[in-house]
Amino acid sequence: MALNKYSLRELLELTTETNTDMKYGPDSVRGMTITKEIIPTKANVSNTDLRKFLVVHPHEFVFNPRTHGKKIGFGYNRTDAAFLISWNNIAFRVKPEMKSTVMDEYLFLHFNREEWDREACFRSWGSSTEVFSWDALCEMELQLPPLPIQKKYVDVYNAMLANQQSYERGLEDLKLVCDAYIEELRRDIPSQKIGQFLLESDRRNDLDLPVDSVRGLATSKEMIPTKADMKGVSLGNYKMVMPRQIAYVPDTSRRGDKMSLGFNNTDEPLLVSSISEVFGTDVEKLLPEYLMLFLTRPEFDRYARFNSWGSARETFNFDDMCDVEVPIPDIKVQKAISDIYAVYVDRKHIDDRLKERIKNMCPILIKGSLEEAGV
């Protein structure tokens, strides 16, 4: 067996089919991520003219020519249905006559590697916005093993992916149970303003916690290691978030209509920026874990955004948070629902790690296939 070198121009062709006849509607619109996934679009396209949108059929690829940091937004349609993608992206497929040379799924493994992202960004150009063009993609080269070897390594990848997707389906079942409980509570129990149960905190870093304790607040409703450059920053004025306390950023105008918020589910105090609001709850009457079920829902993001105020910056301050209304059942009921949700969160983290491991396998699989063919 031997390796053969090809330029991508030899293997690929553009696809330019558009939704001219409006065969596909808003429910068919998708987006893509820098983690190389196809996802439901986050844009409101209900009043958008979809006739210019590109139609991406099964086994076709799409990428965003505008680079995002050091990553390329990219996706592969591994489903059995076509979808729409915005007209300012680029769609392509393996040339029909080259399908005996390369599997589209093997190509996806090639694209789903940090090495490819680095080369794509290196080949990008522009001043205010860097662009990775179709021609730049076509100029790339790769070595291909024989088709049987490609299939062998694609099968390994697909087996891992099937395992992760099976796990994810069970995860969604848990989420449905939580959502059903919440809807039942909303129907059966009058909602109350939560302010009477909240305990605002303005405790600064009197424990001299180090920079390792600093956290950022994400729109995914998590406390994450800070991305800020903390060199030379004094932490004395940072706010402490004790275990089981909640923190959020009041400014809602710069985060795509989502609230940056997090819950300290660790046993250690953490630090957040002094601009954050921090609070706990009267745990005899309102469990913070139960409250987080409501604060992590899209409805809360919409509520907070609608009820924000200000001129230069719109904010949702602590008084506004106190006006939020949720149904508050007996503490035992709160705990039962919170426990189910905690299992969901734990399993979601496991699912995220599974996805990351599968992605990290792509360069290993490509390397293994090339080494096997080169023997």
pLDDT tens sequence across 299-312: 999 999 898 887 66
Q: Say what the pLDDT of residue 67 is.
A: 86
Q: Are residues 240 and 122 in the same domain?
A: no
In whole angstroms, give the CA distance from residue 285 to residue 291. 11
Residue 13: the pLDDT is 97
Question: What single string gives the DSSP state of each residue in 199-215?
Answer: EEE--B-TT---GGGBE
Report d(CA 230, CA 235) in Å as an integer.
9
**Same domain membership, residue 113 and residue 197:** no
Q: Is the same domain home to 8 and 102?
A: yes
What angle separates helix 104-111 from helix 147-188, to the nearest 10 degrees?
70
Question: Which residues lie below 8 Å from residue 194, measured CB to CB, with a gap of 6+?
Answer: 281, 286, 291, 321, 322, 324, 325, 326, 328
The answer to whether residues 124 and 251 belong to one domain is no
CA-CA-CA-CA torsion for 258, 301, 295, 169, nearest 10 degrees? -80
Residue entry with tokens 């959502």: 179
Is the domain of 136 the same as that of 194? no
Domain end call among 80, 112, 144: 144
Tell me: do 253 and 129 sit in the same domain. Answer: no
Q: Specify the pTM.
A: 0.75
Low-confidence ranges of the chain (pLDDT < 70): 1, 69, 127, 255-256, 311-312, 375
Distance, C-alpha 298 to centroid of its chain: 15
Pairwise CA distance, residues 11 & 95, whole Å: 6
Is the Cα dihedral 247, 251, 252, 254 positive or negative?
negative
The answer to whether residues 89 and 11 belong to one domain is yes
Give me the helices (H) in 288-330, please: 288-295, 298-306, 318-322
Instruction: Tell me whether residue 81 is in a domain.
Output: yes
State how far the alpha carbon of 67 is from the alpha carbons of 120, 124, 157, in Å: 9, 8, 26
Residue 175 domain-assigned (yes or no): no
Q: Are residues 136 and 211 in the same domain?
A: no
**Same domain for 196 and 324?**
yes
What whole-number distance in Å separates Cα of residue 209 and Cα of residue 188? Answer: 44
284 found inside a domain: yes
- The answer as to whether 358 is a domain residue is no
- At 313, list the tokens: 């910056």
> Which CATH number belongs to the domain containing residue 198 in this structure?
3.90.220.20
> According to the model, what pLDDT value does residue 1 have?
61
Strand order in the sheet with 90-94: 12-15, 90-94, 61-63, 74-76
Please report the pLDDT score of residue 255 as a whole number.
65
The answer as to whether 204 is a domain residue is yes
Domains in the chain, number: 2
Residue 334 pLDDT: 94
Are residue 134 and residue 39 in the same domain, yes or no? yes
pLDDT at 140: 97
pLDDT value of position 256: 63
Indicate whether 119 belongs to any domain: yes
Amino acid at site 364: I
Structural domain for 67, as ranges: 4-144
Helix axes 147-188, 288-295, angle to 10 degrees: 110
Task: Copy the structure tokens of residue 22.
Answer: 């409006």
Same domain, 109 and 195: no
The H or E element containing residue 331 is helix 331-374
Q: Which residue has the tokens 């490819």?
A: 116
Is 308 domain-assigned?
yes
Q: Do 19 and 125 share a structural domain?
A: yes
- End-of-domain residue from the set 144, 169, 199: 144
Would you state the structure tokens that stand for residue 145, as one six-digit string?
């093993």
Residue 375 in any domain: the answer is: no
| DSSP symbols for 183-249 | HHHHHHS-EEEGGGGEEEE--B-TT---GGGBEEE-TTS-EEE--S--TT---TTPEEE-TT-EEE-
